[in-house]
Amino acid sequence: MEGFKALGLSYKNSPIEVREKVAFSEAEASQFLVNLKETFGVEEALLVSTCNRTELYYTSPSNLTGELIRLISSFKGIPSHQLENHFESYDSKAAPKHLFEVALGLESQVLGDIQISNQVKRAYQQSADLNLAGPHLHRLMHTIFFANKRVVQETSLQDGTASVASVAVDLISGFIRNISDPRIALIGLGEIGQNVLENLNSEEVSITLVNRTKSKADKLAEGQNIKVCDLSALDQVVSENDVIISAVTTSSPILSSANFGKGTVHKLLIDLSVPRSMDTDLERVPGVSLYNVDQLTERTLKAREIREQAIPAARKIVEDELANFQSWKSEMGVSPTIQRLKNALEQIRKEELARHKKLSDEEMELLEVVTKTMIQKVIKLPVLQLKAACKRGEAETLVGVLNDLFNLESANVEKE
């Protein structure tokens, strides 16, 4: 795609303190894309924003990296010098491949993460709704979705559960299966806590967020059916919830058996903190199931190994489908030449017919049919040769020959 470029930052080159500053909500992304279109006249754009990355893909004849970083800085109210060293740019050759690898989970912190594919789909839908998805972006995205389908069917890249957060949610799903209106408390909203919350979005549960900085919990709960509770009310949190997940940073446990009343309870406790935030004496509370981060990590190792073995096959699929996209793009590039050739031959046909004014109407109708059929047969081979040349990377030479032979660059021929 000529002029299709990208810039972005991710967990690979930016700490969470930076990533969270440039994360876009759906409403913010929509407004930003409108601003982008109005400011730079960009006709195609895609904004992918998750907890692990913010990436902007756009079509422009110019490299707008510096301008777009400043636009993001202005939109977010952040000095641009705080961001410019974190953003990486991708040219028209690298950008499509990078988007393939992002959408398929090859660039994810959790290898093969299936969530990123859905996030990219939502971003694409938003671009389409804003009329920022043209023929090239439409074709690229649908090629990526087809590649993702092949990865799912032909490889084990997305098999098993490969993150602590997703393992935790798997445990929760099994635990709450027979509980009516299950209630879950999430303590701590750092990167791990937010990953858990993102994974919980697919579950039909009541969620309570608990965080030292209550404003952060309020922001994450905004617009959703999520309750927020103070960290000082842990006894209430324990009493009201069936599942308690702790991902809080602490030097000593914040939960112990003292937070539980006497008698048997039925609760699942998941401690994702290091150091641990749940006292081991909780294992002695009747009815309590306690898991720590090491126990959950063990469950992910096998899945990670299987997924890593699938990387070569997944990358081969990316190469295949990217090549198919590039072939389509090349054919699109010679389409104007094909059209000009058709116009040139049609012009010759009409000029020759105009010389025979003494023909009857019946004879003229017959000649119309015969000459149009001849033109279709004459043009068939050059078109096939052009498409074949595209696949060989030799289209430019053949386009030059056709331009010279038929004078296709002249103003008269370009008229349809």
Return per-residue pLDDT of the chain as tens, 416 residues. 468 999 999 989 998 888 888 989 889 999 999 999 999 999 999 999 987 899 999 999 999 999 999 999 999 999 988 998 999 999 999 999 999 999 999 998 888 888 788 899 999 999 999 999 998 999 999 999 999 999 999 999 988 777 788 888 889 999 999 899 999 999 999 888 988 998 887 778 999 999 988 899 999 998 888 999 998 899 999 999 999 999 988 888 999 999 987 777 899 999 998 888 999 999 999 999 999 988 888 778 878 888 999 999 999 999 999 988 987 777 666 667 777 778 878 888 888 888 887 888 888 888 888 888 888 888 787 777 777 766 666 666 666 666 766 677 664 444 44
Same-domain check for residues 201 and 88: no
Residues 255 and 262: their CA atoms lie apart, in Å, by: 15
Establish if 65 belongs to a structural domain: yes
The CATH code of the domain that includes 243 is: 3.40.50.720
The CATH code of the domain that includes 31 is: 3.30.460.30
**Six token digits for residue 182:** 């299950």
Same-domain check for residues 74 and 147: yes
Number of domains forming the structure of the chain: 3
Q: Write down the pLDDT at residue 265.
A: 81
CA 134 from chain center: how many Å? Answer: 17
User: How is 263-327 classified by DSSP, letter by letter?
Assistant: S---EEEEE--SS-SB-GGGGGSTTEEEEEHHHHHHHHHHHHHHHHHTHHHHHHHHHHHHHHHHH
Asked if 52 and 28 count as a contact pair (C-beta separation under 8 A), the reply is: no
Distance between the two ends of the chain, CA-based, in angstroms? 25
Same-domain check for residues 16 and 150: yes
Same-domain check for residues 272 and 339: no
Establish if 391 belongs to a structural domain: yes
Same-domain check for residues 229 and 372: no
Same-domain check for residues 24 and 152: yes
Establish if 170 belongs to a structural domain: no
Same-domain check for residues 189 and 135: no
Asked if 412 and 346 count as a contact pair (C-beta separation under 8 A), the reply is: no
Same-domain check for residues 296 and 342: no
User: Which residues face 206 on adjacent strands?
Assistant: 183
Q: Write down the pLDDT at residue 229.
A: 93
Same-domain check for residues 71 and 35: yes
Residue where a domain stops, chosen among 245, 280, 300? 300
Q: Write down the pLDDT at residue 396.
A: 67
Domain that holds residue 204: 184-300
Q: Does the global pTM surpass 0.75?
A: no
Establish if 166 belongs to a structural domain: no
Establish if 317 belongs to a structural domain: no
Same-domain check for residues 18 and 112: yes
Same-domain check for residues 262 and 134: no
- Select from 104, 132, 100 the least CA-distant residue to 324: 100
Q: pLDDT, tens digit, for every residue of 239-295?
A: 999 999 999 888 889 999 999 877 778 999 999 988 889 999 999 999 999 999 888
Residues 143 and 136: their CA atoms lie apart, in Å, by: 11
| 51 catalytically annotated | yes
Report CA-CA distances (Å) from 357 to 352, 353, 374: 10, 8, 21
Residues 161 and 204: their CA atoms lie apart, in Å, by: 20
Q: Write down the pLDDT at residue 250.
A: 83
Same-domain check for residues 108 and 220: no
Establish if 320 belongs to a structural domain: no
Q: Write down the pLDDT at residue 393.
A: 65
Establish if 56 belongs to a structural domain: yes
Catalytic residue among 51, 238, 265, 367: 51
Establish if 289 belongs to a structural domain: yes
